Chains A and B, each alone.
Chain A
């Protein structure tokens, strides 16, 4: 709100004049000093640890005693390790796969939930449930459900279910992706629901008058109008997968073998189980670079850094 709410009430005409003069006199909005707490926090909890990580990546430290300077040793070790490329490949594969699985489902669910029928509201509540559980609880629950000896497969006696879902290297990776998707589809659906509800009903009415069917409406109105929601949701999906750790750690701990050892898990195991903080910091730095690049590229590609409205007159 322009001007000060503490100012005495004025007549409508006078008021707008006053606000204009206050703008002219140079005081635009709140003082920049208001930013200080937020900036201080960002610096303290965001930038300082980030710099610390980069600095630590040039040291050898096992968590005890004082770190000793190692130059580029950690970087060359990590970059020469075949395990790093394996982890990197798995990470990228996982980003792509989670997108391919989550995007269509959450888009359709979100648009479906945007409808105002009462039964849809009930469905929405049910879809929303996975979002309420903690990742660890979900991990443990799925681990037990998928247990080949005492889980669902032994309870239902179905031949197809008799698999070692999380224990065979070929399967585990895809099972993890499905569980991760199960966890996060509700969240993205929620985004799409909100996005779809923002689309003015008049556009659909106009299109229907022109003889457009449901499918045509979806592709010509809903999808283009959801552009920025898609960008946001995709960025969150990709960057979220880059840092997804908890579910995988609980369900497979990077195993079997190294079948689900994506970069964040690799970083954790290097740092907190092998106690090689230097190597872990290198992997962390790589992850930061990847995450920043991905989100910048996504924003650029979609042109959403300009954030203009697609609706005429809005």
Chain B
């Protein structure tokens, strides 16, 4: 029967995905942190090569306890890791940004307490950066790469043309904005579509106005924490900037992932940019000639008149972190901790990071930084990280994922003029249960 043969064929074709699925299943099992070998997941790009070299060095020294390492793109990693850890198939070493996600991991007992297992690493890394990996005073995640403070970049050429000085107070920033606006230059580049760059503004303003305390209460989920006057004042200041045309009216479709905001600065279209230290390599990579001409400058977030926040306070990503999976065997957990203690951020890894133009989250590297070709920038951000009275994790990383969503969506509405500061504060208070 011709019909039946076609049906049979359909059945065979249709069952092919089943086999593929079965194959997938076994593969996921291998990657799991069960009784199998050691595994780690990390991100592509950035310091990927440093991870590769460090793991290779460990593997050749410990042939019986080799790591299998897989590298993922940022967004796909964030989605994959949660399902994998949740289903008990996560890797031995779990890469993260600490903060709210780490809290969730600890709450569901997915990661182990490392406090007493990493004596050497504890001595190497910067204490304020290590603190971010702690939950209830115990270390659950350790720094593994570079510190990423947020700072101002500026276009020296445009500053010179407009006769503007580097602003050190909010008032000066505002008048600089007005000067640039009058000259038809976009004062500040902002990647509004990505939303998280908008967060840097409110983070720094709240800090400069009220210090780190107001957000600490939010982080601890105190009821009504967003009603602290520092938040409403910060929104007032931000509104002044937006109304003065600081970000222009076309920020809504600028995307940070393809560095369109940095491009505005090095194509001499915008004068300033508030972004993470990771953007520096974009400038030196995409606009090498422009940087060489000495057009790139940087400065700290200005103080706000009457504010109590310390000028040295820093926001950003203190580092990325590795946690050890609680689902791994006891032996694998110990080996993973040993790797973190001895190979992670050791001298060789640090040197490689510095050569790439990144500042590792470790102490006593002034000498190495001074020898780097990017020494001006590296020393600046290193000092910034070292001297920070508080190095705070970006709010979207610090809070739970569902709060972070409201935080970002509402903020982008504020920037677009669709929501007021009061509405924002009410909405955020509503997320604290």
> A-side interface residues toward B, CB under 8 Å?
1, 4-6, 29-31, 34, 37-38, 41, 62-65, 143, 146-150, 164-169, 172, 252-258, 269-270, 272-276
Q: Which 9 A-B pairs have the closest CB atoms?
A: A167-B252, A167-B253, A65-B108, A37-B11, A274-B402, A148-B250, A257-B413, A166-B253, A164-B250
| Nearest CB on A from B337, distance (A) | 22
A256 / chain B contacts, CB cutoff of 8 Å:
192-193, 252-253, 412, 416
Give the most central of A41, A63, A168, A258: most B CB within 10 Å.
A63
Contact B105 A255 (CB under 8 A): no
Asked if B254 lies at the interface with its beta carbon under 8 angstroms from chain A, I say yes
CB-contacts of B239-263 with A (<8 A):
249-255, 260, 263
Asked if B119 lies at the interface with its beta carbon under 8 angstroms from chain A, I say no
Asked if B264 lies at the interface with its beta carbon under 8 angstroms from chain A, I say yes
Stretch in B2-10, B210-218, B353-361 touching the partner: B2-10
Contact B3 A29 (CB under 8 A): yes
Q: What would 20 more interface pairs be, CB under 8 Å, given A37-B10, A64-B110?
A: A29-B3, A31-B4, A64-B82, A64-B86, A65-B110, A143-B255, A147-B254, A148-B254, A149-B263, A150-B263, A164-B252, A167-B193, A167-B254, A168-B249, A168-B416, A256-B416, A257-B416, A258-B409, A274-B404, A275-B82
Residue in A5, A166, A257, A275 whose CB lies within 8 Å of B409: A257
Contact B86 A63 (CB under 8 A): yes
Chain B binding surface, main DSSP class: helix
Residue in B4, B85, B192, B252 whose CB lies within 8 Å of A64: B85
Chain A binding surface, main DSSP class: loop
- Nearest-neighbor residue (CB-CB) of B110 within chain A: A64
Asked if B104 lies at the interface with its beta carbon under 8 angstroms from chain A, I say yes
Known contacts A143-B253, A167-B193, A273-B401, A149 near B11 by CB under 8 Å:
no
Residue in B2, B83, B402 whose CB lies within 8 Å of A1: B2
Contact B252 A255 (CB under 8 A): yes
Contact B252 A149 (CB under 8 A): no
Known contacts A37-B15, A257-B416, A166 near B193 by CB under 8 Å:
yes
**Measured between alpha carbons, how far is A190 from B230 in the docked complex, in Å?**
60
Contact B412 A255 (CB under 8 A): yes
Q: Per-residue 0/1 for B44-73: is the Cβ within 8 Å of any A Cβ (1 yes, 0 no)?
A: 000000000000000000000000000000
Q: How large is the interface on B (under 10, 10 to 19, 20 to 34, 35 or more residues)?
A: 35 or more
Give the most central of B1, B192, B263: most A CB within 10 Å.
B1
Asked if B269 lies at the interface with its beta carbon under 8 angstroms from chain A, I say yes
A34 / chain B contacts, CB cutoff of 8 Å:
3-4, 7-8
Can you list 11 A-B pairs with a CB-CB distance of less than 8 A? A34-B8, A62-B402, A64-B85, A64-B86, A64-B108, A65-B110, A148-B253, A172-B252, A256-B192, A257-B419, A274-B404
Contact B253 A164 (CB under 8 A): yes
**Measured between alpha carbons, how far is A211 from B413 in the docked complex, in Å?**
60
Residue in B8, B14, B250 whose CB lies within 8 Å of A167: B250
Residue in A150, A166, A270, A274 whose CB lies within 8 Å of B252: A166
**Measured between alpha carbons, how far is A225 from B303 in the docked complex, in Å?**
73
| Nearest CB on B from A142, distance (A) | 11
Contact B416 A169 (CB under 8 A): yes
**Measured between alpha carbons, how far is A275 from B4 in the docked complex, in Å?**
46
Residue in B11, B195, B260, B402 whose CB lies within 8 Å of A255: B195
A62 / chain B contacts, CB cutoff of 8 Å:
104, 401-402
Residue in A29, A30, A273 whose CB lies within 8 Å of B405: A273
**Measured between alpha carbons, how far is A62 from B86 in the docked complex, in Å?**
9
**Measured between alpha carbons, how far is A276 from B205 in the docked complex, in Å?**
30
B260 / chain A contacts, CB cutoff of 8 Å:
147, 149-150
